[in-house]
A and B are shown apart, each in its own frame.
Chain A
């Protein structure tokens, strides 16, 4: 236990929310009397404990954290994940000594630096140079430290030309870069970061994540809160999942992230009858599965399957069951139907209940949400049935470094393709060898992986 740097025991935090009743008061006298009574109570309480309030119907108690306990060893990187309102930021505030816990204790060994917001303390009237000093001092650096690291900070933020202009003339991107540059050069034993990577463009995010990895590699302890599962997977080896103020689970990052994503949404979506039927076809349910488990959040590197359960009421000849996928931008990414590579049963449709499925290869699609429209048409002539956006899945990239850029490129898909390179000797006009013929297995690899 001697190298445990953070040890939290039953941390709890209670907030009191006041509900100011907006009921219209009947008379001015009532208003004045009730105000006077409230003022009297408040004055009396001013000299007792300032953060406690008596049981009062207009005050509601909310436990932001309840009995949270965990350990972090020296050099450990702990990711803290959970839905909005789970208590992540409150936990960080307690660790940063910004607010006191209501109960419980935490023992910390070493200097803590917190990055709960970028650009805290920046003043728009001061120049970039002055703000670097100011922000650095506020974050806990001494003047000599800031002077030493000044050039590095400026180089990281790429605002050399604007150092002596007031900050209010900077674009918001420049301000964020400068703010993170200062924070990135803190040198604490324990670094606590709260969702600050959600700002800035892609290149900048990559830089920040890289810098945080360097900090972690240097033996520092890092606590990282984020909604970006890719970043959490890359940076942290352990994770803590919070829900409604309590710890759900803690342990190896992959497992905790998987647990979080599973619980994030209901997986099996039964459909409303009225919309999903017509005389010929009744759609019962749709489902997405990956690695043998139902999931709505899918790893874009591995194949996944879509299952559609439906009932054929009346046979329509030459009918095709199709699914068209569109992305969040509204572009159609691709469409597929059971007539493309048909089985016997699809060619000669019978009435009855069926479960159809298809498998989408991995390493092909871009990350982000995908909405599937299920329908039935007659060989491209008329649409017999259609249910829009009944399949909702989201693809994510499990490793956020070199692969993330692929998903930002133009194009509806982002296939991960195998490239070959061979030196060319002077061979006259011999045509180049087709690598897919030479190594004929690579085409099948794409579908198998």
Chain B
């Protein structure tokens, strides 16, 4: 039989936690699979929703910001600018919205079953990644339509994708743990998402922000991530501010480690407080 010995004690940090995460790795897949399946059952529109959502938003933004407000696109079709900005943003905001309430929504699991709780917010990021991949297909179609070919900068795409995923993980860790104790955060999150949509360079290029404010602006971790993603996808036509990217990396790293720390610290009390 197995010889793993487990000691449960008040206040004892689980050295086994990371091994447990590996042992329960299939749960990442299953929770994500469940959320995706449930989302598309009984909806008439079904899978098409993953396509329609980014498409419709792109159309609206292009018309409002490109045609009506006439914001500059710096040499790329406005639609592509918007779409390339929307993909990472939607990954982040979907993960944040679903992730912040995941523990509360799954409270029956939290109080009755043991599994490393970190799996819950991470699986919501996985679900958002799936949506993201579908939207990438749309982006590819549009780039073909506009005859804009990606350049060598495409090689940096995995890196910037990782940056966005890290930012999403950081947000979900913090918010899901906070929402367990302070249910008010459920109302705070939609506001952050709305606010963030206009503050981050989703519908416009961050070059319109005046130079002197650029560094402060980059404190928003999504600025560097979205800019970088856009640059990677659309090639050197869109300029990128490297200092902004580095600030973004720093902020995301700090938020992610803080988020994981806070989550692990409060995790023990979840079943009692939820």
> Within B17-76, which residues are at the interface with A (CB < 8 Å)?
24, 26-27, 30, 33-34, 37-38, 41-42
Asked if B1 contacts A189 (CB within 8 A), the reply is yes
Q: By the criterion of a CB under 8 Å from any partner CB, how many residues of chain B are at the interface?
A: 39
Given A96-B114, A143-B26, answer yes or no on A166-B4 (Cβ-Cβ < 8 Å).
no
Which of chain A's residues has its CB closest to B40's CB?
Answer: A125
Which of A114-122, A258-266, A295-303, A441-449 faces chain B? Answer: A114-122
Asked if A98 contacts B10 (CB within 8 A), the reply is no
Is B268 part of the binding interface, using a Cβ–Cβ cutoff of 8 Å?
yes
> Within A124-138, which residues are at the interface with B (CB < 8 Å)?
125-126, 130, 133-134, 137-138
Which of chain B's residues has its CB closest to A52's CB?
Answer: B269
Q: Which of A111, A116, A133, A134 contacts B2 (CB 8 A)?
A: A111
Asked if A166 contacts B41 (CB within 8 A), the reply is yes
Is A165 part of the binding interface, using a Cβ–Cβ cutoff of 8 Å?
no
Residues of B within 8 A of A50 (CB): 181, 265-266, 269, 273
What is the interface residue range for chain A against chain B?
35 or more
Asked if A134 contacts B30 (CB within 8 A), the reply is yes
Is B216 part of the binding interface, using a Cβ–Cβ cutoff of 8 Å?
no
Q: Which of B8, B24, B41 contacts A108 (CB 8 A)?
A: B8
Is B257 part of the binding interface, using a Cβ–Cβ cutoff of 8 Å?
no
Is B5 part of the binding interface, using a Cβ–Cβ cutoff of 8 Å?
yes
Given A111-B4, A123-B34, answer yes or no on A117-B265 (Cβ-Cβ < 8 Å).
no
User: Smallest CB–CB gap between A22 and chain B, Å?
Assistant: 20
Distance in angstroms between the alpha carbons of A116 and B10 in the assembled complex? 22
Mask of A76-114 contacts with B, CB within 8 angstroms, 1/0: 000000000000000001111111111111111111101
Is B271 part of the binding interface, using a Cβ–Cβ cutoff of 8 Å?
yes
Residues of B within 8 A of A102 (CB): 10
Asked if A107 contacts B6 (CB within 8 A), the reply is yes
Asked if A109 contacts B10 (CB within 8 A), the reply is no
Asked if A137 contacts B27 (CB within 8 A), the reply is yes
Given A101-B9, A133-B30, A134-B30, answer yes or no on A110-B4 (Cβ-Cβ < 8 Å).
yes
User: Smallest CB–CB gap between A323 and chain B, Å?
Assistant: 47
User: Smallest CB–CB gap between A169 and chain B, Å?
Assistant: 12
User: Smallest CB–CB gap between A10 and chain B, Å?
Assistant: 11
User: Smallest CB–CB gap between B215 and chain A, Å?
Assistant: 29
Asked if A116 contacts B181 (CB within 8 A), the reply is no
Is B3 part of the binding interface, using a Cβ–Cβ cutoff of 8 Å?
yes
Is B7 part of the binding interface, using a Cβ–Cβ cutoff of 8 Å?
yes
Asked if B2 contacts A105 (CB within 8 A), the reply is no
Asked if B26 contacts A98 (CB within 8 A), the reply is no
Is A15 part of the binding interface, using a Cβ–Cβ cutoff of 8 Å?
yes
Asked if B41 contacts A100 (CB within 8 A), the reply is no
Asked if A107 contacts B7 (CB within 8 A), the reply is yes
Residues of A within 8 A of B12 (CB): 105
Given A130-B37, A133-B30, answer yes or no on A138-B113 (Cβ-Cβ < 8 Å).
yes
Q: Which of B2, B7, B268 contacts A106 (CB 8 A)?
A: B7
Q: Which of A97, A107, A126 contacts B37 (CB 8 A)?
A: A126
Which of B104-112, B126-134, B147-155, B245-253 faces chain A? Answer: B104-112
Residues of B within 8 A of A105 (CB): 7-10, 12
Asked if B114 contacts A97 (CB within 8 A), the reply is yes
Residues of A within 8 A of B217 (CB): none
Asked if A100 contacts B268 (CB within 8 A), the reply is yes
Residues of A within 8 A of B30 (CB): 133-134, 137-138
Is A46 part of the binding interface, using a Cβ–Cβ cutoff of 8 Å?
yes
Which of chain A's residues has its CB closest to B3's CB?
Answer: A109
Mask of B158-200 contacts with A, CB within 8 angstroms, 1/0: 0000000000000000000000011000000000000000000
Is B272 part of the binding interface, using a Cβ–Cβ cutoff of 8 Å?
yes
Is A142 part of the binding interface, using a Cβ–Cβ cutoff of 8 Å?
yes
Is A139 part of the binding interface, using a Cβ–Cβ cutoff of 8 Å?
yes
Residues of A within 8 A of B34 (CB): 123, 126, 130, 134
Asked if B9 contacts A120 (CB within 8 A), the reply is no
Asked if B38 contacts A125 (CB within 8 A), the reply is yes
Is A58 part of the binding interface, using a Cβ–Cβ cutoff of 8 Å?
no
Residues of A within 8 A of B9 (CB): 101, 104-106
Distance in angstroms between the alpha carbons of A108 and B16 in the assembled complex? 13
User: Smallest CB–CB gap between A127 and chain B, Å?
Assistant: 9
Asked if B7 contacts A139 (CB within 8 A), the reply is no
Residues of B within 8 A of A15 (CB): 272
Asked if A120 contacts B112 (CB within 8 A), the reply is yes
Asked if B112 contacts A98 (CB within 8 A), the reply is yes
User: Smallest CB–CB gap between B136 and chain A, Å?
Assistant: 27
Asked if A98 contacts B271 (CB within 8 A), the reply is yes
Asked if A125 contacts B42 (CB within 8 A), the reply is yes
Residues of A within 8 A of B1 (CB): 110, 189
User: Smallest CB–CB gap between B77 and chain A, Å?
Assistant: 40
Residues of A within 8 A of B110 (CB): 98
Residues of A within 8 A of B3 (CB): 109
Which of chain A's residues has its CB closest to B110's CB?
Answer: A98
Residues of B within 8 A of A104 (CB): 9-10
Asked if B6 contacts A108 (CB within 8 A), the reply is yes
Instruction: Jot down 25 A-B pairs with beta carbons below 8 A, ordered by A.
Output: A46-B182, A51-B272, A96-B113, A96-B114, A97-B114, A98-B110, A98-B111, A98-B114, A99-B272, A101-B8, A103-B10, A105-B9, A106-B7, A106-B8, A107-B6, A109-B6, A114-B113, A116-B113, A117-B112, A125-B38, A130-B37, A138-B30, A138-B109, A166-B41, A189-B2
Q: A125-B38, A138-B109 are in contact. List 7 more A-B contacts (CB 8 A).
A: A51-B269, A98-B114, A107-B7, A112-B114, A116-B112, A121-B113, A130-B37
The 3 closest A-B pairs by CB, nearest first: A105-B9, A51-B269, A137-B30
